[in-house]
């Protein structure tokens, strides 16, 4: 019964959000990464990870239902306005493009070096090599993202294939060491906004996604040294890869003694140099605390679980949060769509970068990803302050 109610809530929520691809895809990803494994357990036996299927699906049901009801109210109250898509020129886009290309070259070089480590010594050795870098490549990741999405916006405007080639080279540098996240989340971010401006359709997006999914799952299996989808069903392999999230939602009780005031959580999303200068000790994200408490052996070996935005909301705000916070996120995503349509080149690149961070929120490290979002907001509002009315 709970499975049927959950699937109906998902269907109705996706249908009502159809005009807003940014929020529709966000909601779909939350549901897929949290609800896929619990649903598959009704079709096949899955004992590798213990989780409470009824609890997970109930939380997702509340998540979906709250968005559905609140969006109906929003549609009844809002004034309909049509905003036409355009790509305005920003005077300093090319300057920013060339400056950020230096950071991008550095990250691509680090990715290739890590890739050779993986090829020669295995996947774990590649990550160890990355963790021992004198200058952390991840510190420059926001600049690479903005550069990447500037390439994308330039392509939308000029249709020059060189921009696609450069985007492909950046993706290839990540694929060298088996990382799929950059390919997945940059592709999703780009495609969502192509749907928004009606360059492609949901149907085309769905067809490509269905075709690509087995390859992505197989790549994950090969990266880990197994044949994965070759020696088991693809559904089982997918449920194994996504089992962490329902497991986290079901075992939040391991964090019951963690005291994290919301103001300290918010401050911890800022760079540590700023926090420490204020005399505040930054806290660990819930994902770090969870793996340390739930599986200390795996944590000591450098492993992690990521986290779930469902778990994050529920842990901070309880069931009331699950009924209110999700739609606040949806409204933020609607605002991003409007800003993307109206903004200039640099605005569009920043909004795409921000959206990338938000869909990484779905299963990533909340505090680390929030730092990326803070950097994007800093650029966005500094640009607004320094470059008003194009002067």
What pLDDT is attached to residue 230?
45
Taking residue 2's Cβ as centre, other Cβ atoms within 10 Å add up to: 16
CB 200 within 8 A of CB 212: no
Per-residue confidence (pLDDT) for residue 68, from 0 to 100: 96
Alpha carbon 1 to its chain centroid, in Å, reads 31
Give the Cβ contact number of residue 320 at 10 Å: 10
Residue 231 has a pLDDT of 47
Q: At 334, which helix (H) or strand (E)?
A: helix 309-342
Q: What is the pLDDT of residue 299?
A: 73
First to last CA, the chain: 60
- Angle (nearest 5°) at CA 170 between 169 and 176: 85
CA atoms within 13 A on the CB side of 271: 7
What are the 10-residue block averages of pLDDT along the chain, 391 residues in total?
91 95 95 87 73 91 95 87 81 92 91 78 59 64 94 93 94 82 91 94 89 72 53 67 84 84 81 75 82 79 75 90 94 94 93 94 81 88 72 50
> How many H-runs (helices) and E-runs (strands) does the chain carry?
18, 0
What is the spatial distance between Cα 214 and Cα 220, in angstroms, rounded to a whole number? 10
HSE-up (13 A, CA, CB side) for residue 237:
20
**Under a CB-based contact definition with an 8 Å cutoff, are residues 305 and 49 in contact?**
no
3-state secondary structure of 311: helix
Question: Bridge partners of 344?
Answer: 88
> Contact, 150 vs 346, CB < 8 A?
yes
**SS3 label, residue 46:** coil
At residue 40, the 3 state secondary structure works out as: helix
Q: Which residues does 344 contact at the CB level (< 8 Å), separation at least 6?
A: 87, 88, 89, 90, 93
Contacts of 346 (CB under 8 A, 6+ apart): 90, 92, 93, 96, 150, 383
Question: Position of tokens 């994902």?
Answer: 287
CB proximity list for 225: less than 8 A, separation 6 or greater: 122, 123
């Amino acid at each position: 019964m709970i499975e049927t109610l959950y699937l109906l809530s998902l269907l109705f929520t996706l249908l009502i959000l159809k005009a807003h691809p940014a929020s529709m895809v966000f909601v779909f990803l939350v549901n897929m990464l949290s609800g896929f494994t619990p649903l598959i357990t009704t079709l096949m036996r899955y004992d590798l990870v213990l989780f409470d299927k009824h609890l997970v699906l109930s939380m997702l049901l509340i998540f979906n239902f709250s968005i559905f009801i609140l969006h109906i109210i929003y549609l009844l109250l809002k004034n309909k306005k049509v905003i036409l898509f355009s790509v305005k020129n920003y005077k300093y886009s090319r300057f920013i493009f060339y400056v950020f290309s230096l950071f991008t070259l550095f990250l691509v070089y680090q990715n290739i070096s890590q890739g050779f480590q993986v090829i020669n010594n295995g996947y774990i050795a590649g990550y160890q090599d990355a963790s021992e870098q004198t200058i952390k490549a991840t510190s420059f990741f926001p600049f690479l993202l903005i550069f990447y999405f500037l390439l994308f916006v330039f392509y939308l405007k000029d249709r020059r294939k060189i921009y696609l080639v450069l985007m492909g080279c950046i993706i290839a540098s990540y694929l060298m060491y088996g990382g799929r996240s950059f390919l997945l989340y940059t592709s999703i971010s780009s495609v969502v906004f192509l749907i928004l401006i009606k360059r492609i359709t949901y149907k085309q997006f769905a067809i490509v996604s269905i075709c690509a999914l087995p390859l992505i799952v197989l790549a994950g299996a090969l990266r880990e040294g197994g044949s994965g989808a070759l020696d088991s069903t693809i559904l089982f392999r997918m449920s194994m890869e996504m089992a962490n999230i329902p497991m986290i939602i079901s075992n939040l009780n391991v964090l019951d003694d963690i005291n994290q005031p919301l103001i300290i959580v918010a401050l911890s999303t800022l760079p540590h140099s700023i926090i420490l200068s204020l005399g505040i000790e930054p806290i660990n994200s819930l994902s770090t605390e969870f793996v340390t408490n739930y599986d200390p052996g795996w944590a000591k070996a450098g492993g992690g679980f990521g986290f779930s935005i469902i778990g994050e909301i529920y842990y901070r705000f309880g069931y009331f949060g699950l009924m209110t916070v999700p739609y606040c996120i949806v409204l933020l995503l609607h605002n991003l769509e409007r800003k993307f349509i109206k903004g200039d080149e640099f605005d569009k690149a920043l909004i795409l970068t921000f959206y990338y961070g938000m869909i990484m929120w779905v299963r990533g490290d909340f505090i680390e990803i929030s730092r990326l979002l803070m950097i994007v907001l800093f650029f966005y509002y500094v640009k607004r302050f320094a470059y008003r009315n194009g002067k």
